[in-house]
């Protein structure tokens, strides 16, 4: 069946290589996955004073997550963790207490770095956060990408055959993972 997937881009930079990666993943996604970005750039910094009355941007964030079958995190690694902007968005979505948007929402994490570690450490950090948020995560396959100049063309084509095949299979695995999770935990 078709599923909607909301993807978060952890970087706010205009030239973000993770934005390029997200574009490439949209291109190679199985036809059953309807991909749409969930933007995080307009959120104020979370604190629980807002719990009484969420601002419009945070309401839209929670609405966007509620509207999709699954979420995908495409994130850089900043100082061996995820960027603060992404953590802030997750904190917003996880609250007010008792209204955590990630409960039972299937997720996957992926990311690209200019360095060889390929966001491995950031992804491990993000997995801890998503575990606490009770999101069923695709554990395997993992995907750690070193994004070298030219690997992703301007139109989103992945120029390396092996990488393109690997990521195509990875998106197919994500589709199958979503199918399995939603069989056990259908959306209410
Ligand atoms: C980085 N970068 C980086 N790379 C990495 O592999 N591990 C790391 O811990 C860090 N730390 C880090 C901190 C900060 C503040 C910046 C700005 C950058 C380099 C990073 O991989 C590179 O800037 C990417 O281009 C970031 O991804 P986006 O923003 O282009 O998608």
Distance CA 93, CA 89 (A): 6
Q: What is the pTM of this model?
A: 0.98
Using CA atoms, how far residue 138 sits from 26, 50, 63, 70, 122, in Å, is 18, 32, 23, 11, 16
Q: ipTM value, please give it.
A: 0.99
Tell me which of 16, 24, 77, 115 to substitute to probe ligand 1's pocket, judged by most ligand atoms within 8 Å of the beta carbon. 77
The best mutation among 78, 115, 122 to test binding of ligand 1, ranked by most ligand atoms within 8 Å of the C-beta, falls on 78
Q: CB of 148 closer than 6 A to ligand 1?
A: no
pLDDT tens profile 122-147? 999 999 999 999 999 999 999 999 99
Encode pLDDT of 71-98 as tens digits. Answer: 999 999 999 999 999 999 999 999 999 9
């Amino acid at each position: 069946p078709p599923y909607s997937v909301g993807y978060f881009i952890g970087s706010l930079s205009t030239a973000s290589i993770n934005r390029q990666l997200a574009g490439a993943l949209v291109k190679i996604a199985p036809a059953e996955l309807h991909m749409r970005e969930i933007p995080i750039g307009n959120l104020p910094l979370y604190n629980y004073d807002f719990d009484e009355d969420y601002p419009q941007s945070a309401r839209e964030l929670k609405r966007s997550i509620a509207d999709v079958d699954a979420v995908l995190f495409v994130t850089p690694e900043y100082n061996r963790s995820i960027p603060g902007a992404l953590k802030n968005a997750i904190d917003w979505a996880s609250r007010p207490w008792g209204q955590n948007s990630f409960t039972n929402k299937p997720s996957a994490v992926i990311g690209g770095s200019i360095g060889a570690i390929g966001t491995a450490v950031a992804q491990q950090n993000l997995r801890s956060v998503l575990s606490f948020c009770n999101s069923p995560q695709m554990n395997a396959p993992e995907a750690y990408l070193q994004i070298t100049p030219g690997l992703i063309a301007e139109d989103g084509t992945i120029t390396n055959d092996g990488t393109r095949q690997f990521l195509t299979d990875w998106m197919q695995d994500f589709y199958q993972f979503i199918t399995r999770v939603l069989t056990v935990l259908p959306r209410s």
